[in-house]
Amino acid sequence: MTPLIIQDEKGLYCPAGDFYVDPWRPVERAVITHAHGDHAYSGHQAYFCTRLSSPIIQQRLGKLERLKALEYGEPIEFGPVRVSLHPAGHILGSAQVRIESKDGVWVVSGDYKRTFDPSCNPFEVVPCDTLITETTFGLPIYKWQPGEKVAQDILAWWETNRLAGKACVLFCYALGKAQRILAELAKLTDRPVYLHGAIASLIPPYEAAGIRMLPTIPVSEMDKNHSYAGELILAPPSAFKSPWLRRFDPYETGFASGWMRVRGAKRRRGYDRGFVLSDHADWSELLQTIEETGAHRVYATHGNSDTLVRYLNERGLEASALKTQYEGEQEE
């Protein structure tokens, strides 16, 4: 049987359908799983993505003339191959790619998670013969708590600093993580949150999709002497240790990321607080997903794949690593 997906120097390629999934070099036809920078590159001739990720991708890459937006589950034919996109539970609009030919069904997971996230559609199990899965956190030490629990911890931190007259500057990825935190916090409080510009610009697509979040105020709209005592501010990791922070003094810093699970990560990076919150599958979610899809062949992408590959091989599955250029939850 010829493989439905192979890897070449441009990305994951489907020879039968003549298209790529999340290619990192310019190609003719690109199926894009989601809007994160290491998956959605500019320069392709034609784009295929979900309706929900289309506005975010175009906000980041500019208006794309040849873009086809698909509903979840809506099939599209590429020659003898049928393709459809299914919720991945990673960020708004994120998708797994299901590829079907007479030889069977392959699924490219893109980035995904199984823990509940009020800011996007929940992951859907797509049965397949071959699964290409991400393994950003493919080690048994990675075990996530529910987002709701993490939001409670963030709120408690906010409350402590509020009583002390300090601001809380919480660093998190601008696309996905920030909106998830705002959606989780909206279940616990109604206080407004201040936003760095990189995050503020990514709120409208979530609002347009009907995601309920806390009210937000861009920091850029406040005058220079505004007091942030007792307020929560969300900012991208790139703003850490930048002069932009001076206006919040006195303040504490926090970082919300799956990497905060690693002992000492918070201290090494110099944050006051670490909150373990990831938009990728943890170890048990990876195993659960592989089992539920019924796949008998598994390819792993995104680093940290050796342990998972060995684990699956020992259990009689055909598994190996693909050396893609996806970065996972980037270490800053």
- Where on the chain is the footprint of Zn ion (CB under 5 A)? 36, 111, 326
Closest CB 89 distance from Zn ion, rounded Å: 11
Q: Which is nearer to Zn ion, 168 or 276 (CB)?
A: 276
Closest CB 116 distance from Zn ion, rounded Å: 18
Residue 23's closest CA among 42, 4, 3?
A: 42
Which residue matches tokens 């003719």? Answer: 28
Closest CB 143 distance from Zn ion, rounded Å: 20
Q: Which is nearer to Zn ion, 33 or 101 (CB)?
A: 33
Q: Which is nearer to Zn ion, 101 or 289 (CB)?
A: 289
Q: Which is nearer to Zn ion, 111 or 117 (CB)?
A: 111
Q: Which is nearer to Zn ion, 109 or 253 (CB)?
A: 109
Annotate 45-82 with b (16+ C-beta within 10 A) or e (fewer): eebbbbebbbbbbbeebeebeebebbebeeeeebeebe
Q: Which is nearer to Zn ion, 39 or 196 (CB)?
A: 39
Q: Tell me how far apart the alpha carbons of residues 33 and 95 are, in angstroms, rounded to a whole number.
A: 5
Q: Which is nearer to Zn ion, 171 or 326 (CB)?
A: 326
The phi, psi pair for 290, rounded to 5°, reads: -60, -45
Q: Tell me how far apart the alpha carbons of residues 227 and 217 are, in angstroms, rounded to a whole number.
A: 14
Walk across the sheet containing 167-171 and list its strands.
Answer: 216-218, 193-195, 232-235, 167-171, 251-256, 273-275
Closest CB 132 distance from Zn ion, rounded Å: 12
Instruction: Tell me the β-bridge partners of 297.
Output: 130, 318
Residue 294: both structure tokens together: 């019924």
- Give the N- to C-terminal CA distance of the chain in Å, as an integer: 42
Q: Which is nearer to Zn ion, 134 or 184 (CB)?
A: 134
Residue 48's closest CA among 24, 26, 20, 25?
A: 20
Closest CB 25 distance from Zn ion, rounded Å: 16
Closest CB 2 distance from Zn ion, rounded Å: 27
CA separation, residue 324 to residues 97, 302, 304, 321 (Å): 16, 7, 12, 9
42 Cβ partners below 8 Å, 6+ apart?
61, 62
Closest CB 24 distance from Zn ion, rounded Å: 11
Q: Tell me how far apart the alpha carbons of residues 207 and 213 are, in angstroms, rounded to a whole number.
A: 8
- Asked if 192 and 215 count as a contact pair (C-beta separation under 8 A), the reply is yes
Q: Tell me how far apart the alpha carbons of residues 90 and 302 are, in angstroms, rounded to a whole number.
A: 15
Closest CB 134 distance from Zn ion, rounded Å: 6
Closest CB 79 distance from Zn ion, rounded Å: 27
Q: Which is nearer to Zn ion, 159 or 332 (CB)?
A: 332
